[in-house]
Chains A and B, each alone.
Chain A
Amino acid sequence: SQQGEEDPQALSIQEGENATMNCSYKTSINNLQWYRQNSGRGLVHLILIRSNEREKHSGRLRVTLDTSKKSSSLLITASRAADTASYFCASGAGSYQLTFGKGTKLSVIP
């Protein structure tokens, strides 16, 4: 079942600003992942956070996870025009399946 839901659906910011996207999920998970998709292309893995972690950093990306609220956020700092893409969270509840959300479409205006 589709359990990840991103918020907002679309986000438009100026270059240099920070972008924050949120994800909610419904059932218990053992990990949550964020992916990026450039228009019409395959998804690319950005970062994975385990259920026993609360925060993780990778370059300009910061991910938080609140299992009590069943939510995660992705922060992109100092955004660039090249960050324009759709961002998806994917929750992993077992060994095999990842359930993707509907995505947030980010536009970074130069």
Chain B
Amino acid sequence: EAQVTQNPRYLITVTGKKLTVTCSQNMNHEYMSWYRQDPGLGLRQIYYSMNVEVTDKGDVPEGYKVSRKEKRNFPLILESPSPNQTSLYFCASRPAGGVGSYNEQFFGPGTRLTVL
């Protein structure tokens, strides 16, 4: 089944304790993104990746890191989490397509993170 998976689905942690949220897709998509969703703010893009070893900042990258060493995986790293990073996080992927093609994004099920 074509899908984007995220782990863990739920995480409660404490301020300053490094954590990684994994994201994996089995559709051979070039593009992958991380979003956070907060009440009243909608979805905001954290980082995105156009392909292996190619990443760029989204709208709210502060406090986050990413890496894209393999095409299928795009982990989100919080080196020193703080309470304002408590949020619902989504990973998404989509194919690159050809010139002029626009493709839907496929979303993972979400990771609910609480930082105490």
Residues of A at under 8 Å CB distance from B? 1-2, 4, 30-31, 33, 35, 40-45, 48, 50, 88, 90, 92, 95-103
Q: Which residues of A contact B88 (CB under 8 A)?
A: 40
The reply to whether the CB of B35 lies closer than 8 angstroms to some CB of chain A is yes
A residues in contact with B42, CB < 8 Å: 2, 4, 88, 100-103
Interface string of B38-65 (1 = CB under 8 A from A): 0011111100101000001011000000
Task: State the interface size on chain B (CB cutoff 8 A).
Answer: 28
The 8 Å CB contact of B105, one of A50, A98, A101, A102, is A98
Cβ of A42 and Cβ of B43 under 8 Å apart? no
In the bound complex, CA of A99 to CA of B92 (Å): 13
Interface residues of B in 1-54 (CB under 8 A from A): 4, 31, 33, 35, 40-45, 48, 50
Least Cβ–Cβ distance between A41 and chain B, in angstroms: 6
> Would A43 and B40 count as touching, CB distance under 8 A?
no
Q: Write the residues of chain B forming the contact surface with A, with a CB cutoff of 8 angstroms.
A: 4, 31, 33, 35, 40-45, 48, 50, 56, 58-59, 88, 90, 92, 96, 102, 104-110, 112
Query: A2 and B44: CB pair below 8 A?
Result: yes
Residues of chain B contacted by A43 (CB below 8 angstroms): 43, 90, 92, 105, 107
- Contact status of A42 and B90, CB under 8 A, knowing A96-B50, A100-B35: yes
For residue B88, give the distance in angstroms from its CB to the closest CB of chain A.
7
Contact B102–A50 (Cβ < 8 Å): yes
CA of A104 to CA of B109 in the docked complex: distance in angstroms?
A: 20
- Contact (Cβ within 8 A) B43 A100: yes
User: Are B104 and A48 neighbours in the complex by a CB distance under 8 Å?
Assistant: yes
Please determine whether A31 and B41 come into contact, CB atoms closer than 8 angstroms.
Answer: no
Compute how far the CA of A42 lies from the CA of B33 in the bound complex, rounded to whole angstroms: 13
